[in-house]
Structure 1
């Protein structure tokens, strides 16, 4: 049986239903991210796991035990918030030791465990400092150590990096993942940042309007989005209007280009409209580019972004972006130039509603 199970969870505040029939099974030691825009219900699900909110319907099960009637302090859960929530009147050592002291652990055990935690976050040399003497990244690492010190069965992280600058966010998310892997603790991470979710998760739950639009590995979420929302929210994606030419032959028309898809068109008939998607990195303008499919259009803009050059072309009225890696001898396509973008038919995705 899975370690953390959410069964048909619902949550309403008055007449507003913010979580709608949410179900998921999380394995022991798995790192799962809830990804979505503000107001999609991801933090509410996290709070129901923690016990801060009670489900309107459904159950939360941890290690085979129904948690619905247990208070937060009875669930053996560690939680890290966006705001570090450190005690300003306690030094680093005492902040990390807080949960252990509340649990009545012996002094020797507390000292040993706190030392282990401070070594884990590489802040043992700052044990006597107070929160105001630490940087934001250091404070968040202390908050993480405090959550882990009592050896919780589940770790919950609610937007823990959003208050930090970009460089610190990258290094700290990698550190969090390394610590989680080392300890093997089941972890649920809430974020609105797709790069964070894609880079550190075993699986991602993309939430939209209180529902899980898709649950899958980072590769599945990025490369095979299940809905239009997932396709538009995760990564940069071209959504292109097309017309079915021949369902039996699996061909569609994009502008003046006829393209044969790998993915079955389904029940549509000739003349029906459908939406397809293409990642910007899928195409190439190289003369020796490999691919079984191409689109021809006119360049509308081209921008130098450092590591990549992003170009937009007009294909039958659709603006299609594509990226190519920068190189010292790279030639940027010029506005007004007619170009042919080569790629594989398998790079096209049919976007379902």
Structure 2
């Protein structure tokens, strides 16, 4: 039995339906990320779990108990916001202790729990500081400790890293994941950053226009996107238009070049146009690369990205990007040069619209 269940959840603001028939079962101790662009409905789902928004339809339960009629303070949920939301007139100790005081815990219990939480986030030496005396990363750690101090059933994180610089974001997301695994707490994390979602999640919900386009592990989401939206939103992906030549033989044509897919095209008719996806890292110009398929085209551009060089080539009107490792002894191809990209046919996936 799942721990957090969302059954046919819907939410409308006036005539606009922002969440459409959303269903998901989240297991106890699971870390699930809601990933998608602004306005896709991911934060609205989070706010409905927290009780800040009331679903227009559907039910929501935690540990088998319906939460629909409960107020936020009755759900035993911890929440960390993007903007820290610390009390500026309170010390770190008092911020973390706030929820415990509201719950009526004794002073010895509060002091012991605060000490435990500050040790967990490695800020016990800053207990007497005020928020303005701390960095953004430190403030967000305090906000996390405050949310965890009350021993919530579920931890909700609403884009908690978006206000931080890149280096701090990486270290803090790893720390959040480590703490979550250590405590075994069920966690829902909202982000628009695909790298964040891919790096720390057990499962990812890719949301688009109020619905889940795909739910799966980071490996599944990245390597086998279910829709054109997921394919284009998660990672860098080449979307290639091809024409079906022989459905029974899985033979297709890209520009004037024919190749055989591993994936069946029997559901399509000869002459029909289909969309294919290919990751930039799947291709190579090397003659010795592991491959069973090749496409020849003309180089459009090559961009130096540090450890890799991202090259773009034109194949029958499709601009295909591929990555090659930066090596001082290898000169990258130049614009206008004809090259052959080699890859495995199994890496070329059919994408449904």
| 1:173-188 superposed matches below 5 A | 173-188=173-188
Partner of 1:229: 229
1:227-279 deviation line (CA, Å, top 9, x unaligned): 00000000000101100010000010011221111111132111111110100
Q: Which residue of 2 aligns with 1:94?
A: 94
1:346: which partner in 2? 346
Report matched runs for 1:1-353 at 5 Å.
1-353=1-353
In the aligned structure 1, how far is the partner of 2:279 from the partner of 2:294? 14
Contact 2:248 2:266 (8 Å CA) reproduced = no
Deviation, 1:348, is 0.3
Q: 2:29 touches 2:187 (CA, 8 Å); kept in 1?
A: yes
Whole-angstrom distance in 1 between the partners of 2:330 and 2:77: 52
How many aligned positions are there? 353
RMSD of equivalent CA atoms: 0.6
Distance in 1 between residues matched to 2:262 and 2:190, nearest whole Å: 35
SS in 1 for 2:249: coil
What is the deviation of 1:328?
2.5
Hey, what's the Cα distance between the residues in 1 that align with 2:263 and 2:61? 38
Q: State the 4+ residue runs in structure 1 displaced beyond 2 angstroms.
A: none
Structure-2 separation of matches of 1:79 and 1:259:
51
- CA shift for structure 1 position 340: 0.4
Q: Distance in 1 between matches of 2:215 and 2:303?
A: 34
Q: TM-score normalized by structure 1? A: 0.99
Structure 1: stretches of 5+ with no match in the other structure = none
More off after superposition, 300-309 vs 27-36: 300-309
